[in-house]
């Protein structure tokens, strides 16, 4: 029912979601959920309701978006922010408070992490203010409550929890001191007048969002982000979005794992001497099938709750991954792709499945599709070596030498880290 193009177009217009970036099944599931809520009406009946109800439009958007993240995700970004904030205060001689923006802010973990990081770095309350925006009113309301459960503390370092939270019966309550530093509101990045009357921000966090837009929407959103970021400011993005910003006129500030970019006017560096796109491997080992849970900004392919299905056992996931690898290595591309899609329907997404989809698209000559799959793999596993190298090869073939260089360097750092761990 929900494969009707009308629903895809609606979400594209309202929140910029490119159906190709997440797959139609995610949107189909959300429409089924909302239709079931309204007594399983037909597609035409639900579409008519959707067009006449602002509340239902927002409800469908909420069903697609997953308001889930955790504190201090990508910790190097926050460590980098703390260093740059002190430097920036010195540059402006403390004449005003630093302005930091987090969007989408989801349920508040990111903007609150920003505030905690700056407090822990020694900044005083009058030296910075944080704004958080999200398209979801429900997420913003949850952020304002500032009461969090264990899923919000998934990082390896959680010592901040003792400093900034108090334990309550229903969860951990963020301190009022941190909450007062953050202003939360509803806002849509597709609005070209977003925060039009606000001064530019010294630091902007917009992570893991651009990869879910098509290229025209990426350009549109980037223009808004560029307007919101001070000419001397820094934009923090997600691990898979660096090549996008490189093409749009930004440059990495050069701090590994910070995913921080600034503006530049100089030409991008030439390709690394002797750069040659790596050949497609004949065989790839099956990687771990039990990675830590990682969130995505849009809903995963979980079954509709009313169906009450039991989750597939981990052994089934391992078997299916091995089958994907075998089919791909035997040249049975259609069967391998079908197995990947089966995996995503029945299990939590893992980087290796998106890597295989990228590789299969690469072999089929679908460069743009392959690029999207490799980026999804890097979103789930930022240092996935094969995805890094193959995306680098694609960018190089498209003339994006700087993007290819950055990915090569990330892959090299990943290999050095792996070698170091093997020697222990």
Taking 80 as the threshold, does the pLDDT of residue 310 lie above it?
Answer: no
> Which is higher by pLDDT, 393 or 96?
96
Other C-beta atoms closer than 10 Å to the C-beta of 342 total: 14
Q: Which domains does the chain have, with CATH numbers?
A: 5-64 (no CATH), 75-263 (3.40.50.150), 305-423 (1.25.40.10)
Specify whether the backbone of 243 is left (phi greater than 0), alpha (psi in -120 to 50) or beta: alpha
Encode pLDDT of 159-197 as tens digits.
Answer: 999 999 999 999 999 999 999 999 999 999 988 889 988
CB 382 within 8 A of CB 240: yes
The region of weakest confidence among 87-101, 113-127, 364-378 is 364-378
223, pLDDT greater than 80:
yes
What is d(CA 262, CA 273) in angstroms, rounded to the nearest whole number? 25
| Distance separating alpha carbons of residues 394 and 375, to the nearest angstrom | 12
* Lowest mean pLDDT segment, chosen from 63-72, 76-85, 218-227, 376-385: 63-72
Name residue, tokens 């040249």. 331
For residues 263-285, average pLDDT? 47
Residue 212, judged by CB atoms within 10 A of its CB (0-12, 13-18, 19+), counts as buried
The C-alpha torsion from 182 through 188 and 193 to 196, rounded to 10°, is: 0
What burial letters (b/e) apply to 132-157, b meaning 16+ CB within 10 Å? Answer: bbbbbebbbebbeebebeeebbbbee
| pLDDT tops 80 at residue 41 | no
pLDDT of residue 315: 67
Give residue 307's pLDDT band: very low, low, confident or very high (50, 70, 90): very low
Are 189 and 103 in contact, with CB atoms under 8 Å apart?
A: yes
Per DSSP, the three-state class of 131 is strand
| Separation CA 29–CA 358 (nearest Å) | 24
Average pLDDT, the chain: 82
pLDDT category, 294, cuts 50, 70, 90? very low
Mean pLDDT of 98-120: 97
pLDDT of 228 higher than 60: yes
Cα separation values, 33 from 64, 107, 159, Å = 10, 22, 39
What are the beta bridge partners of residue 101? 131, 204
> In which band, very low, low, confident or very high, does the pLDDT at 40 lie, cut at 50, 70 and 90?
low
How many other CB atoms are found less than 10 A from the CB of residue 381?
A: 24
With cut-offs at 50, 70 and 90, classify the pLDDT of residue 271. Answer: very low
Return d(Cα 209, Cα 101) in angstroms, integer: 15
The whole-angstrom separation of Cα 323 and Cα 316 is 10
């Amino acid at each position: 029912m929900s494969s009707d193009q009308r629903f895809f177009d609606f979400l594209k217009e309202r929140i910029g979601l490119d159906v190709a970036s997440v797959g139609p099944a995610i949107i189909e599931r959300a429409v089924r959920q909302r239709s079931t809520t309204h007594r399983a009406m037909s597609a035409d009946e639900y579409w008519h309701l959707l067009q006449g109800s602002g509340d239902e439009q927002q409800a469908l958007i909420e069903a697609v978006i997953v308001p889930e993240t955790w504190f201090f995700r990508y910790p190097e970004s926050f460590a980098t922010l703390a260093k740059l904030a002190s430097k920036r205060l010195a540059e402006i001689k403390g004449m005003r408070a630093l302005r930091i923006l987090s969007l989408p802010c989801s349920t508040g973990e990111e903007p609150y992490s920003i505030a905690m990081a700056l407090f822990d770095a020694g900044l005083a309350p009058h030296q910075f203010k944080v704004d958080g925006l999200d398209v979801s009113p429900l997420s913003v309301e949850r952020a304002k409550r500032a009461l969090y459960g264990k899923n919000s503390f998934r990082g390896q370092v959680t010592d901040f929890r003792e400093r900034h939270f108090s334990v309550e019966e229903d969860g951990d309550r963020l301190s009022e001191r941190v909450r007062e530093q953050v202003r939360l509101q509803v806002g849509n990045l597709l609005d070209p007048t977003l925060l039009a009357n606000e001064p530019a921000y010294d630091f902007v966090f917009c992570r893991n969002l651009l990869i879910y837009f098509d290229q025209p929407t990426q350009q549109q959103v980037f223009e808004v982000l560029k307007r919101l970021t001070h000419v001397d400011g820094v934009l923090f993005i997600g691990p898979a979005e660096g090549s996008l910003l490189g093409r749009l006129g930004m440059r990495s500030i050069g701090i590994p794992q910070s995913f921080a970019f600034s503006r530049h006017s100089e030409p991008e560096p030439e390709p690394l001497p002797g750069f040659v796109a790596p050949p497609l491997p004949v065989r790839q080992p099956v990687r771990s099938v039990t990675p830590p849970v990682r969130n995505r900004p849009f809903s995963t392919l979980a079954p509709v709750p009313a169906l009450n299905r039991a989750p597939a056992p981990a052994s089934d996931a391992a078997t299916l991954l091995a089958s994907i690898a075998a089919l791909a290595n035997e040249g049975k591309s259609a069967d391998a792709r079908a197995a990947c899609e089966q995996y995503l329907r029945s299990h939590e997404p893992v980087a290796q499945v998106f890597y295989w989809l990228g590789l299969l698209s690469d072999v089929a000559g679908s460069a743009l599709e392959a690029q999207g799959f490799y980026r999804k793999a890097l979103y789930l596993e930022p240092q996935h070596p094969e995805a890094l190298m193959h995306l680098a090869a694609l960018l190089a073939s498209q003339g994006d030498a700087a993007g290819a260089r950055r990915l090569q360097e990330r892959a090299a750092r990943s290999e050095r880290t792996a070698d170091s761990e093997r020697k222990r």
